[in-house]
Chains A and B, each alone.
Chain A
């Protein structure tokens, strides 16, 4: 026997950023559960509107015998409840003290199997065969007699397009149709189309227009106000590709009198644009560079000076890094001096997200060089863990200098983040630095850089502080490598060397990752282990130098010569930054160790001969650890 199963959670408006993912998570859970219970079905359909998420499983195979009906019911109850509980929610909430947490308050549960209600109890609610129409237009009970008719009835009686993808296409088509009429186009590369799909049950497209003078504002800001704040689409001109002052509103109702909706949206957008425009004009009464002295009025952080002091420190750090910058140095210094100036402008004060962008615009207006204005914007990149890095060299170095200055300053004041709290976002800054260094291949001795920062703060240098900051950075490297699924032992084996060059650390990690699964690497480890075992028993050793005249066979002699060559080679290759080749030396040399062990018995009646060999092994062990601490793998 086959029946269709339908489940709908009717809720208060779900968050538009999560609706899509929540629905997919629900479907995935259901699929898993069905598979676990070995239940066959034809297809799963899912539905999502601001007020509901639902799934429909077409033609689930039921057990045939009549007395099995109870068992059927029980299985499906279990499946549904477990699937709901496992829905992935970023910010669960409580609304009723006796209930489970969920994304938003759940107000009704519809569950029917074929034509009858499947009783389910969750969120303090008992399921029924009822749903509700459009929350604002037809918020009445709608009885669902049969699971198959769900989406049709919702559309007919409830004015709800329940199918997410159909609604999304509907909106897109309507928008395209509309903008075609006015010779324009919209860009869909951001999330806005998904957002408005998540915000509407019965979408309708309208066109509004703001005053043309606002087009003088930075377009990033217009984008931020119209698309991010106001969830309306900007329209570009078909012929010129320029931004126009028209915009698309996606409303959730379609009344006869549309003027009010258009006027309301226009007013909302205009008032923000008006605010921005007022400040934009105000700000430009003086040049960006003239804001520099005003930075003295903003405290960066108590005991760490004001933002002017910070600017000077950044400038000095830039000079400190001149080797990396080469010909860009002059522009980099200019960018550093201007870097914080926009923080005192009205526009950034009102729209903090626009820091850097506003600086860039004003710099361009002031005819600063392109390299300079770009870097002002890029100093804040990456904005989150995995977002875009600065493109320009100056942007990269400026970003590093700004961030390291903040990190060191707050560490001096003992304001370092704890495991679960990072109020100043120092972890994010450090990850940003590490990512720039790794991905843009920048060679910096982190320890020197930290020392320079500490010095610029006029702080009495302490090794303890340096160690703390270095360790903090090492932990970020671990975090990043773990995200790339690199084995923790590989990371550890390099970090234990306490190198100060992050790029070098990373490149060595990559080399090891490459070798980790190879047989040759295993052989190397076996040899290393064997050496370790022998040395563990024989700690005592008074001889400082290997004595060549104590060798009593050619294998021993050969090995010693090879050992010396190996040492020179590996050190030189590391120095030349040829890490792949450097480690290959170890792999090659491990064969020599095998030959040595095969032909030379370490134990000898003559104690001097014996200790001489121990000494050789000690040196071998030491040199083998030049590339990484092999003991981590044992």
Chain B
């Protein structure tokens, strides 16, 4: 056995997951559709509506096409991972529990400058907004901590608390790396795999696709097709809510791709967001109506 402390990406995420798992959270699997954040997961979107309690933890791969930097920037990626914790209703000492979870991975509040900086999170396409903070550790944003106030343009009550760990940033910090690509993904006696080995090429290729090579006409076409399909599914006599929601996610990703290609002005962009928000609201309403039945 190696006596070196294992601080690989794998181990760190395992430790955080275990910490929350022991608190009784449901361990869930990520959604298999391109999304911009863990919040888009149906487990978060739907369950934060209505009155039933729930709690989940999952790791969600996220795609933000505009954040691509051709693999050049040390801490910007168009594809990365979020570790998402959602609990409804929130425990009273939730911030202390969060600090405990940091201690598990060797981040201590008396040696690291931890700050809760006001940042009222908002996702206009989901009609979601929350009140909360970015959590900074020595000046670097590493977690988003939010109390949802609205989801699908519907007021939340009870409230859901969402804690989103930016795992790459945390790993950089703990492993003392200056670049994401140098993060150790796994480490055994025989093997050492870095984040760069796994994803660097993907970043280069996808950045090129997002900014240069994507087919704008196709993206516009797909956006409208997905929107229409979602609308159609919601208009059925017995609406298919989950598939309709999934088509919103597809449309949203296409919108993000269009956005990164700079095809939309501020004004036009607003209109696309509005279309997506209207649909999310409709899905949320139908979901709640179904719950009541």
Contact = CB atoms under 8 A, between A and B. Distances in A.
A257 interface: yes
A139 B96 contact: yes
B120 A91 contact: yes
Interface in A106-151: 107, 135-137, 139
B89 A261 contact: no
A301 B262 CA distance: 13
Interface size class of B (residues with CB under 8 A): 35 or more
Interface string A405-435: 0100010000000000001100000000000
A301 B264 CA distance: 8
B133 A136 contact: no
A269 B117 CA distance: 16
Given A93-B149, A95-B147, A260-B138, A255 B110 contact: yes
A249 B138 CA distance: 10
Contact of B73 (A253, A274, A299): A274
Q: Which of B90, B112, B137, B141 has the most CB of A within 10 A?
A: B112
Contacts of A81: none
Contact of A300 (B140, B178, B268, B274): B268
Contact of B139 (A12, A265, A297, A406): A265
A301 B271 contact: yes
A275 B76 contact: yes
B262 A93 contact: no
A260 B111 contact: yes
A275 B173 contact: no
B201 interface: no
Contact of A268 (B69, B109, B110, B140): B140
Interface residues of A, number: 59
A49 to B, nearest CB: 12
Nearest to A306: B265
B118 interface: yes
B251 interface: no
Given A12-B95, A274-B74, A251 B90 contact: no
Interface in B165-183: 173, 178
Interface in B113-144: 113-118, 120, 131, 133, 136-141
Contact of A298 (B95, B158, B173, B262): B262
Q: Which of B95, B120, B157 has the most CB of A within 10 A?
A: B95
A57 B262 CA distance: 58
B139 A230 contact: yes
Contacts of A316: none
Interface string B195-235: 00000000000000000000000000000000000000000
Interface of A: 12-13, 15-17, 50, 91, 93-97, 104-105, 107, 135-137, 139, 199, 230-232, 249, 251-253, 255, 257, 260-261, 263-269, 271, 274-275, 278, 297-302, 304, 306-307, 343-344, 349, 352, 406, 410, 423-424
14 contacts: A12-B95, A13-B117, A15-B118, A105-B147, A135-B109, A232-B139, A252-B115, A253-B110, A260-B138, A274-B73, A275-B76, A299-B264, A349-B262, A423-B270
Interface of B: 66, 69, 72-76, 89-90, 92, 95-96, 99, 109-118, 120, 131, 133, 136-141, 147, 149, 156-159, 173, 178, 262-268, 270-271, 274
Given A298-B265, A410-B267, 7 more contacts: A94-B157, A136-B99, A257-B111, A298-B263, A299-B264, A349-B66, A424-B270
